[in-house]
Homo-oligomer: A and B are copies of this chain.
Amino acid sequence: MSDESFLGYAKRLLVGRPIPSSLAHHERLSKATGLAVLSSDPLSSVAYATEEVLRVLMIGGLAAMSLAPTISMLIAGLLIVVVLSYRQTVHAYPQGGGAYRVSKENIGELAGLSAAAALLIDYTLTVAVSVAAGVAAITSAFPDLHISRVTMGIGFVFLLSVGNLRGIRESGRMFAAPTYGFIAVMLTLIGWGLWRVFSGAPPTPPPVEPLPTFDAGMLTAFAVLTAFANGCTAMTGVEAISDGVPAFKPPESKNAAATLMIMAALAVTMFVGISYLSYMIGAIPSERDTIVSQIGRAVFGDGTILYYGLQVMTMAILVLAANTAYADFPRLASIVARDRYMPRQFMNQGDKLAFSNGIVSLSVAAGGLIWVFDGDTHQLIPLYMIGVFLSFTLSQAGMFLRWCRLRPAGWRRSAAINGFGAVLTFVVLVIVGLTKGPEGAWIVIVLIPVIVTVFIQTKKHYDEVASQLTLRDWTPPQRRTNIVIVPISGVQRAVVSALRYAESISTDVRAVFVNDNTEQIAALRRDWETWGGSTRLIVLESPFRSLMEPLLEYIEQIERERSNAYITVVLPEFVPSQWWHHLLHNQRALLIKGALLFRPNVVVTSVPFHLR
């Protein structure tokens, strides 16, 4: 079942919206296209991870910033451990091993749901952070743009949302250009920069106004931990390849594992390279110019084509990373909904609707985050990390337990790798929680259990409904007669049409007129002779000028007298030709429906009358 869904996802990822003819033969990923399709998220975080490290270190001034290369090496080491650990998941779950499935199968329901909640939050933050960082890349290159970053960010989210709702035709080729373009320009930047540094002519970036915290005091051990936690943003998105195993060409697991290793090598090279270069040339975090942009200006020269290429490619891969979340979020939501933990509106039932719901939910949440956090990457980062490392930890702890349970050949070594990965990511999770908690991560720490509770309540509700729907030991309702009531306020075409319909569904039709105006009643009785047909006209008196109460009392009376009859209330309903005309009609029908909704055995039917 979830296999089916995954193929659906891969298909969607590759060729866009389901198109009948494409169902038979769909594109599988080679290592090269796989890297392009699945690596935009982890690679793109290079664009902001170094900056997040430097922002903390700068408190200690230039001297403290020399710690940046060391911290980035540590993070690179952590990344390698995590990648090795995920490599095992890739082999163990050739059908795709997302954190939700791995931790639910191997640890338990709560762990799985926590992972799902963490991932849904992360996909939302991927969109928010990537878009915010992409906007920063653009505003760094073009500082004179007179559009606020919040407006621009929400604009991008809107475009992504519309694009995904309409169905962007995605293909390996479409992904390849920005991904490989980004890799190429980044490696050129690092190579050229290092050459200039070591050839004794280190480039210097144009001076920027540093953030106000620059050189503000002593660097504490806590601050160093914070810098480390910040740098871990470089690790976001590593999970994508382990999720996407079945999308690869056979042998799937082998190709996926190889792609994972290439991705890791590139991410490590780029992250360490940028961190080292930023230190060597003395780039300083500033509100206006990103670190990558400063390095670009220094190495390529300000205003050069290569510099603008760097910024545009950075923007492009960041938007691509955000776009990946637009496939991930609805897919995970669909899987969780299939397990009944989320509303079935998110469950893919063979049409666009479920994905549309996911896309809209994701866009609203991500746009809201950009708005609340002022489109500032740096403010969003603290929220990002909790979910990433919680899902890392749960996924790898799950793998560890799996090895201990299944005990295949060589399980000790595998368990050791995953166990080490789990412990390491758990330690980082704690560091992130302690250092980032006060900065805003507490929101996520509170949100995850709330979401898990909602998941469990939802499942409980669906299970209860299922037990109320079971046919076992159930005596079906007796077949009953049907008394049809047509409330009328006069005789006109819509009413006559409704009466004719009513007569087609029952032989006991009663038109009910609530009399609040004695003049009208004579005219009505006259019309009735012509148009009433076989229908009885019942006039209810309303001493207090209320229309609803006499009608409800009449229905109650029938219910008492004929307890085994259905009562159908037939209402004429105008279907206007213009949307705004809806505002001018139909409220009374809605009201009657609302009043009758909670009565068993009363059915309300609207007979549409189409206005020109």
Contact = CB atoms under 8 A, between A and B. Distances in A.
A531 B471 CA distance: 9
Interface string A475-519: 011011110000000011110110011011110000000001000
A287 interface: no
A609 to B, nearest CB: 8
B493 A474 contact: yes
A343 interface: yes
A213 B23 CA distance: 74
A545 interface: yes
A431 interface: no
A591 interface: yes
A176 interface: no
A438 interface: no
A106 to B, nearest CB: 27
A465 B603 contact: no
Contact of A527 (B469, B471, B497): B471
A430 B113 CA distance: 68
A581 interface: yes
A199 interface: no
Interface stretch (A145-153, A345-353, A362-370): A345-353
Contact of A343 (B466, B469, B583, B607): B583
Interface string A523-547: 0000100110000000000111111
Interface in A238-264: none
Interface in A446-477: 458, 461-462, 464-466, 468-471, 474, 476-477
A598 interface: yes
Interface in A579-602: 581, 583-585, 587, 591, 597-600, 602
Given A476-B531, A603-B501, A547 B471 contact: no
B481 A500 contact: no
A496 B20 CA distance: 33
A344 B584 contact: yes
Interface residues of A, number: 74
Interface string A543-560: 111111000000000000
Contacts of A497: 476-477
A493 B470 CA distance: 6
A597 B575 contact: yes
B581 A611 contact: no
B591 A610 contact: no
A128 to B, nearest CB: 24
Contacts of A396: none
Given A18-B545, A353-B591, A476-B496, A468 B566 contact: no
Contacts of A506: 505
Contacts of A516: 349-350
Given A350-B547, A482-B505, A476 B494 contact: no
Contacts of A610: 598, 600
A125 to B, nearest CB: 24
A457 to B, nearest CB: 9
A544 B344 contact: no
Contacts of A591: 353
Contacts of A413: none
A527 B472 CA distance: 11
A612 interface: yes
A566 B608 CA distance: 12
A480 to B, nearest CB: 6
A574 interface: yes
Contact of A465 (B464, B481, B574, B605): B574
Nearest to A21: B544
A606 interface: yes
A424 interface: no
Contact of A500 (B345, B476, B581): B476
B544 A349 contact: no
A604 interface: yes
Contact of A351 (B474, B479, B481, B548): B548
A468 B611 CA distance: 7
Contacts of A492: 466, 469-471
A412 to B, nearest CB: 40
A575 B468 CA distance: 12
23 contacts: A20-B543, A343-B583, A350-B545, A351-B545, A464-B611, A464-B612, A465-B585, A469-B493, A471-B493, A471-B527, A471-B531, A474-B493, A476-B497, A476-B500, A477-B497, A479-B503, A479-B504, A504-B566, A505-B506, A575-B597, A575-B598, A603-B606, A603-B608
Given A23-B544, A345-B583, A479-B504, 7 more contacts: A343-B584, A349-B545, A462-B584, A469-B493, A470-B493, A471-B530, A603-B606
Closest 9 CB pairs of A and B: A350-B545, A469-B492, A505-B505, A605-B605, A482-B504, A469-B493, A343-B584, A20-B544, A351-B546
